[in-house]
Amino acid sequence: MQWILLVLLLTLGCVEQQKVERIAGEGIVITGLASEEKALYPGDQFRVYATMENKGDKQAEIVEASLVKYGSFKPLGSVSTILFNGHPFMPPDLEKNTRGDIDQVDWLLEVPATKIGYDYPIGIEIAYDYSADSTLSADLMSKAKSRSGSESPAPESIGSSGPLQVTMRTDNMVLNNSGERYIKLDIEVSNVGSGVIKDDSASCPLGSVGCIRRLDLYVPKGDAIGSLSVSQCSGATYTKADDGASTKVMFTNIGILHSGSTWLSCNIYAKVDLDASPEFKNTYVFRTYAIYRYAVSDEVSVTVAGEQ
């Protein structure tokens, strides 16, 4: 009778599917780490199993699972494995209510003859390429427009929710009487996740605890009446390039400090033809896109019981 009732409930759609959610500040998460539950003795072989899932908002690339801490235990095989080789590790799809990609990996190890009667930690690391983006909409206006009571909301930076957070901030965007202004655009880059940003560049600044491979800033050029141009930037090595309707500023080898964050900054020159538009007001959208390598880690303890 209970089985028939369950079938009816499923048929009628009364059993609600669990809602899939993302985890803010995370990308790939280690959801399980365990060793074989058996008594271990010197010379025994055993496996360590790890499961992982993409719970962030971006796809991961080049996902590598590595055995990074195993003392004098002997790995029987490669200590590193590339997962989903050549394919992205997809995030959850909230519209379809489907979970992000999940995978499992295991390592075979051998207990050395000298390990007797102690607990030993086995550590793993999951490293992957991830991305972050952000947008900032800000109003540039003439003094006449500002005095007329045309208030604009404070610019708010909106960004992706992975382990790397990029936040843009800007100062007053009211033009002077000549229709000019230098706008200071600050970019805060912060590690808000539970892992570390990998230093995968030989050019990473000294004293950094991680290095972001690249961050691109897109500054709109505007039009013939109101134009923006990038004059100078600081915080990391950069180059500028024309990108159609925008100027693209490419920062590279951005060092993350021990505080977990760093700052980039650009001075942007704004020029408006006030004769053509004395009550000028226009919204400009600034965008960033960053790529970086991130890693999360975990440990499991194994016990060597002693001699058989």
Q: Cβ distance 277 to 100 under 8 Å? A: no
What are the angstrom distances between the C-alpha of 175 and each of 86, 254, 256? 50, 32, 34
What is the structure's pLDDT at 136? 96
The per-residue pLDDT for 202 is 62
266, 286 in Cβ contact below 8 A? no
Task: List phi, psi (to 5°) of 143.
Answer: -60, -40
Tell me what pLDDT residue 201 has: 60
Beta strands 45-54 and 28-35, pairing class: antiparallel
Whether 167 and 134 have beta carbons less than 8 Å apart is answered as yes
Which own/partner pairs from 41-45 qualify as long-range (CB within 8 Å, at least 24 positions apart)? 41/111, 41/304, 41/305, 41/306, 41/307, 41/308, 42/111, 42/112, 42/113, 42/114, 42/115, 42/116, 42/304, 42/307, 43/110, 43/111, 43/113, 44/110, 44/111, 45/76, 45/108, 45/109, 45/110, 45/111
Element (H, E) at 11: helix 2-12
| Domain boundaries 18-129+295-304, CATH class | mainly beta
Backbone φ and ψ for 6, nearest 5 degrees, come out as: -65, -40
pLDDT averages per 10-residue partition of the chain, 308 residues? 42 58 90 88 92 96 94 91 85 92 94 78 95 95 86 84 95 89 95 87 73 95 95 95 96 86 95 95 96 95 77
Burial per residue of 259-296, b for 16 or more beta-carbon CB atoms within 10 angstroms, e otherwise: eeebebebebebbbebeebeebbbebebbbbbbbbbbb
Does domain 133-290 correspond to CATH entry 1.10.287? no
Task: Look at residues 94, 78, 88 and name the one whose alpha carbon lies nearest to residue 28.
Answer: 88
Using a cut of 0.75, tell me whether the model's pTM lies above it: yes
Domain spans of the chain?
18-129+295-304, 133-290
- Fold equal for 18-129+295-304 and 133-290: yes
